[in-house]
Amino acid sequence: MTIFSDVAPVRFEGPDTSNEFAYRVYDKDRVVLGRSMAQWLRPAVCYWHSFNWPGADIFGGGTLPRPWLAPVITRSMAEHKLEAAFDFLSRLGLPYFTFHDVDAMATAGSPGEHVVNLHHVEELIAGKMSATGVKLLWGTANLFSHPRYAGGAATSPDPEVFAWAATQVRCCLEATHRLGGENYVLWGGREGYDSLLNTDLKRELDQYGRFLSMVVEHKHRIGFKGAILVEPKPFEPTKHQYDRDAAAVYAFLQRYGLAGEVKVNLEVNHATLAGVDFEHEIAAARAYGIFGSIDINRGDPRNGWDTDQFPNNAQELVPTLVQLIEDGGFTSGGFNFDAKLRRQSLDAADLYLAHIGGMDTLARALLAAADVVASGALAKLTQARYQGWSGDLGRRIQAGEFTLATLADHAVKAGLDPRIPSGRQELAESIVARHCRY
């Protein structure tokens, strides 16, 4: 018995159910455009917000019932947490979870203790995974909470901190590999600066490049076949983070020769904080060939910080799902609920209600996006816009048949007087809106 045992296993009951602890739209086996909802969405519960966060904020302490939490976590507390987490996971019925090393293990005071404590909990996690069938979408090392990381991990002014970070990533990557994890994530929360007056930006980027190269080398050394994913975020906790968005990460990967080795884990509210739509981040990552996985959540339109709320607006997510369907779905990625309860969501039951609402939102967006794609209407409209590029001039420009000078000569000689086609933006928006009926 844990605090999560009061809720019966959550099942699909359809839109007319009066049971709040049931999925209304998310039916894991329902086939949509040739594959099941579970296969399209590959949803994961995150360990940190769900089980390792007491509901504290900068003005006050924990509010949520998490009896296994304290400033120093002992082995028995970590085991209590694990018991509760897998009780919740098996009742919620989603296929994956994600975790940071320190979310799951007993607190360590030295690198040696870190290695031992992580290994101890890894074995217990392995047992729980095989007992419940819940799989690992990705693991990650927390390189931002401990005071040693205040000045960065890989980008720290102190190489001993870099070595500590290397220890954590080595162990967590190996644990993720042994647990059958499908990806490994690095979120560089402190890899940035608070002031350029005391920061050597070029040196820090070189350090970060070195670190990631070491991670990639180790991945190959141990035979980990999953993707290495960097998670972009523009700021918070630092004033400026180097991996601010997908485009910045791509430039960084190119600079350090890692573009074929590392992809991105994109998060909805990180895009919002970067001042772009989430679908922009997806489109940019796809264009650069680095799209990997998604942390699903949302911000609050009137708050400029990372509120990590559960998603509740399916229509907003349709452009993302359309792109995912166009790609034929995730490869190794999935939708990880990097979302937390509000501080007043005090009951153990609230964690179920939050995930159920989030899952139904994703399922609604999937169904609407599938209808949009099946109708062919957006694809037709976009294709019509670029039609000119299929003509003689467009093909010859792309084939490199013109120089700037010969093309200019051609324009003058032909007296070009183009009329661009209508963008039909309002129609495109109506197409999305009219398919949001689930």
Q: Does 295 participate in binding Co ion (rule CB under 5 A)?
A: yes
- Residue from 101, 204, 231, 245 binding ligand XUL (CB under 6 A): 231
- Residue 329 CB, nearest approach to Co ion (Å): 20
Nearest of 210, 130, 136, 128 to residue 173 by alpha carbon: 136
Single-letter code of the amino acid located at 11: R
- Residue from 87, 295, 316, 371 binding ligand XUL (CB under 6 A): 295
**Catalytic member of 49, 87, 101, 103:** 103
What is the number of alpha carbons within 13 Å of residue 146 lying toward its C-beta?
22
Which partner, ligand XUL, Co ion, none, binds residue 340 by CB below 5 to 8 Å per kind? none
CB 177 within 8 A of CB 126: no
- Residue 295 CB, nearest approach to ligand XUL (Å): 5
CB 136 within 8 A of CB 89: no
CB 55 within 8 A of CB 62: yes
- Residue 189 CB, nearest approach to ligand XUL (Å): 6
The alpha carbon torsion through 323, 328, 333, 339 (nearest 10 deg) reads 40
* Residue 100 falls in the annotated catalytic set: yes
C-alpha distance from residue 333 to each of 11, 41, 215, 296 (Å): 24, 9, 19, 12
Nearest of 368, 247, 376 to residue 316 by alpha carbon: 368
Measure the N-to-C terminal CA separation of the chain; round to a whole number of Å: 36
CB 173 within 8 A of CB 139: yes
Nearest of 125, 124, 101 to residue 113 by alpha carbon: 101
Q: Does 103 participate in binding Co ion (rule CB under 5 A)?
A: no
Compare residues 174 and 338 and give the one whose CB is closer to Co ion.
Answer: 338
- Residue 295 CB, nearest approach to Co ion (Å): 4
- Residue 188 CB, nearest approach to ligand XUL (Å): 9
What is the number of alpha carbons within 13 Å of residue 234 lying toward its C-beta?
15
Compare residues 117 and 140 and give the one whose CB is closer to Co ion.
Answer: 140
Q: Does 140 participate in binding ligand XUL (rule CB under 6 A)?
A: yes
**Residues 316-345 interacting with ligand XUL (rule: CB under 6 A):** 338
Q: Does 281 participate in binding Co ion (rule CB under 5 A)?
A: no
Q: Does 174 participate in binding ligand XUL (rule CB under 6 A)?
A: no
Question: Measured between alpha carbons, how far is 342 from 333 in angstroms, rounded to an integer?
Answer: 27
Q: Does 245 participate in binding Co ion (rule CB under 5 A)?
A: no
Compare residues 174 and 295 and give the one whose CB is closer to Co ion.
Answer: 295
* Residue 103 falls in the annotated catalytic set: yes
Compare residues 271 and 372 and give the one whose CB is closer to ligand XUL.
Answer: 271
Residues labelled catalytic:
100, 103
Interface positions with ligand XUL (CB under 6 A): 100, 140, 185, 187, 189, 231, 233, 267, 295, 306, 338
